[in-house]
């Protein structure tokens, strides 16, 4: 794992993600998540302009239709996005390791039917499944824009819980497959002949061999979770619920409570059709950057892991290279 930080690609992705998180948390600690609102701005003829203001009038990113500073709203939201995705991923992967091992080692007789039934969840599009499971606090079903009876933290808890359980079957099967591959290796056979029990083989041999794979699965699931959250945002399900606020035109608008990126994305998507499209472009561009940062970490980690496997081969190649450089009849140094 230490070597991963030596990889440029991994380091870039990691510092981008953790930097964002750190800034967001610092903002929370220092300013208590206060969102600065722009006062009514005047144009050259001293006539007031209505918000939203573009990034030219109100740098760096302009404001939304309530005059809230977009950059600060995004900065406040990012800690919810990253932390929620990280927590969901951990909760998905850790139980899946146990379930995967149980499927492979103790339920081997019915491994195949279990895998086929778990496969069915793949054909239920995840976004649709989660939408149905969480629909009771989304904006689509509560067409009257009624307030949700649950509190902010309860809603976040439900959101994380549902997003976690929908993926556990698929990851469990994935880990069961990985365990099967490792279990077929020669060194497992050896230790089994020497009398090791299943438990000892799992703890002492399979887990250490699987750990690098787990990091890769972890980052991949992190990206999947971010994309799923963005999809849910578009379908009107925001983490931590929403409240209704009336804008300048006295139109009721839904505002996400946590203003995290995936929710903001869905909340502002329709600004694409108005004359201020930048509002909907900001969250999607930022979310894309975050996903690419995670992908950089993934690619960097994979490069490090595959180079570690080849470590044994490298000296041999170098030795051959040295031999090629020598003249045909050159004296070799005598070994002292």
Partner 1 sequence: MKYVLESVFRFICVVIGLILLSAFVGLFLNGLQLDIGIFVKNIVHITKSLIFSENLVVIGSTGSEYSIFINYWDYYFYSIIIFLAALFTSITIGTVLSYFTIFLPNKINRIIVRTASLLESLPDLFIIIIIQFSVLYYYKQTGTMLFPILSTSQTKPYLLPIIALALIPSLIVFKIILYLVNEELEKPYILLAKNKGFGKSHIFLFHVLRNIVPSIITHSKSVILLQLSTMVIFEKLFNINGIITYLIRFPEPNVIAFTLIMIYVPIFLFYSLASIFVKNKTGQRLEW
Query: Least distance from C-beta 108 to partner 1, angstroms?
Result: 17
261: its two tokens:
């990126």
Query: Least distance from C-beta 114 to partner 1, angstroms?
Result: 9
162: its two tokens:
């549902």
Query: Least distance from C-beta 194 to partner 1, angstroms?
Result: 31
Nearer to partner 1, 127 or 209 (CB): 127
SS (H, E, C) 183-249: HCCHHHHHHHHCCCCHHHHHHHHHHHHHHHHHHHHHHHHHHHHHHHHHHHHHCCCCCCCEEEEECCC
**In whole angstroms, what is the distance from residue 196 CA to residue 80 CA?**
45
Query: Least distance from C-beta 142 to partner 1, angstroms?
Result: 11
- The CA distances from residue 249 to 41, 252, 283, in Å, are 17, 9, 24
Nearer to partner 1, 201 or 223 (CB): 223
Nearer to partner 1, 25 or 235 (CB): 235
Query: Least distance from C-beta 258 to partner 1, angstroms?
Result: 19
By the criterion CB under 8 A, which residues form the site for partner 1? 113, 116-129, 131-136, 140, 223, 226-227, 230-231, 234-235, 265, 269, 272-273, 277, 280-281, 284-285, 287-288, 291-292, 294-296, 299
Q: What is the DSSP letter of 312?
A: T
Instruction: Label the pairing between strands 252-256 and 242-246.
Output: antiparallel
- The CA distances from residue 12 to 40, 93, 222, 289, in Å, are 40, 25, 17, 12
């Amino acid at each position: 794992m230490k070597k991963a930080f030596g990889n440029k690609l991994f380091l870039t992705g990691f510092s981008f993600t953790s930097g964002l998180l750190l800034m967001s948390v610092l903002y929370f600690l220092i300013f208590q998540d206060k969102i600065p609102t722009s006062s009514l701005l005047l144009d050259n003829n001293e006539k007031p302009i209505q918000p939203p203001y573009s990034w030219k009038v109100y740098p760096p990113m302009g404001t939304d239709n309530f005059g809230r500073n977009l950059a600060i709203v995004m900065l406040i939201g990012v800690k919810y996005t990253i932390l929620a995705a990280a927590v969901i991923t951990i909760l998905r992967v850790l139980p899946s390791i146990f379930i995967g091992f149980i499927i492979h080692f103790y339920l081997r007789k019915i491994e195949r039917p279990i895998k086929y039934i778990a496969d069915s969840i793949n054909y239920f599009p995840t976004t649709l499944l989660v939408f149905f499971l969480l629909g009771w606090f989304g904006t689509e079903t509560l067409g009257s824009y009624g307030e949700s009876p649950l509190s902010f933290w309860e809603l976040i808890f439900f959101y994380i819980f549902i997003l976690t359980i929908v993926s556990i079957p698929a990851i469990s099967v994935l880990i069961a497959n990985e365990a099967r591959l490792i279990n077929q290796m020669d060194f497992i056979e050896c230790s089994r002949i020497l009398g090791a029990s299943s438990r000892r083989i799992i703890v002492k041999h399979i887990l250490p061999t699987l750990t690098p794979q787990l990091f890769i699965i972890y980052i991949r699931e992190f990206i999947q979770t971010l994309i799923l959250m963005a999809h849910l945002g578009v379908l009107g399900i925001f983490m931590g619920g929403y409240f209704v606020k009336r804008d300048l035109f006295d139109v009721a608008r839904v505002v996400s409570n946590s203003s995290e990126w995936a929710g903001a994305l869905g909340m502002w998507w329709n600004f694409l059709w108005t004359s201020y499209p930048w509002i909907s472009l900001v969250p999607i561009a930022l979310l894309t950057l975050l996903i690419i940062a995670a992908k950089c970490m993934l690619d960097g980690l994979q490069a490090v892991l595959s180079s570690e496997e080849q470590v044994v081969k490298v000296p041999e190649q170098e030795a051959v290279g040295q031999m090629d450089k020598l003249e045909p009849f050159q004296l070799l140094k005598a070994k002292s």
